[in-house]
Copies of this chain bind each other. A is one copy, B any other.
Amino acid sequence: MNRDKILATALTLFVERGFSGTPTALISKEAGVSTGTLFFYFKTKEELIDTLYTCIKQEAAEALSLGSRKDKTVAGKIRHYMANAVAWGIQNPKKITFMEQFANSPFVSKGAHEEGTSHFLFMEDLVHDGIREGSIRPIDVNLLFCIMGSSIGAIIELASKEQDPGRRQKIVDDGLDLIMGGMRA
């Protein structure tokens, strides 16, 4: 319970102020616990952000891979996953920002980074399949993957600013169309 409050508060503050810019005292205060309690659950500030990073990456990966069985084509599956990602991102704006901000951060340990990345390997495989069967443009998988990721981030950012559900959906669809259009062979 307290542990969860600390994690949730840390997420908000790290996103707003950065890692070094967020005193642990502020985290515990905002979480409504004492300084001691924070360090009871997390031995160091680094362990706190590592835990946070790992949890969020895992949660994102799970949200990504929900119900894709209906789509037959590789492109369909990819679009489905990307739509999942966008939907999750819109509903979890802080977590998305956090992931982007700390994706290359020296404050997150190498181990946490590796574990975080491992949950997304299945997407790389999927893109490989697409290239092999000829439906995806045959370019460097890393490049494709990287552009996909950053574009999804851009779509989420834009869509989040739009309150009207209809228009928001249009932004998402347009954005995904744009990326898929670029990817297709």
Q: What residues make up the interface of A, taking CB atoms closer than 8 Å to B?
A: 16-21, 105-107, 137, 139-140, 142-144, 146-147, 149-151, 153-155, 157-158, 171, 174-175, 177-183
Cβ-defined contact, B20 with A171, below 8 A: no
Provide the residues of chain B in CB contact with A106, threshold 8 Å.
16-18, 21
A78 to chain B, nearest CB (A): 14
* A20 proximity list for chain B (CB < 8 A): 18-21
Which of A147, A155, A174, A175 has most B Cβ within 10 Å?
A: A147
A169 to B175, CA, bound (A): 26
Interface contact B19-A18, CB-CB below 8 Å: yes
Residues of B within 8 A of A154 (CB): 143, 146-147, 149-150
- Residues in B with CB closer than 8 Å to A140 are 158, 171, 174
Report the nearest B residue to A20, measured CB to CB: B20
Q: Is the CB of A146 within 8 A of B174?
A: no
Nearest to A150 among chain B residues (CB) is: B150
Excluding A144-B178, A146-B157, A147-B175, 15 further A-B contacts by CB distance (< 8 Å) are A18-B106, A19-B20, A139-B174, A142-B158, A143-B154, A143-B175, A147-B154, A147-B178, A147-B179, A150-B154, A151-B151, A178-B182, A178-B183, A180-B182, A182-B183
List 22 A–B pairs whose Cβ atoms lie within 8 Å, in order of A's numbering. Answer: A18-B18, A18-B20, A19-B20, A21-B106, A21-B107, A137-B178, A139-B174, A139-B175, A143-B155, A146-B157, A147-B151, A147-B154, A147-B175, A149-B154, A150-B150, A150-B151, A150-B154, A151-B151, A177-B182, A180-B182, A181-B182, A182-B183
What's the nearest-Cβ distance from chain B to residue A28, in Å?
15
Give the 10 A-B residue pairs with the shortest CB-CB distance, closest first. A20-B20, A182-B182, A150-B150, A146-B154, A139-B174, A178-B182, A20-B21, A181-B182, A150-B154, A147-B154
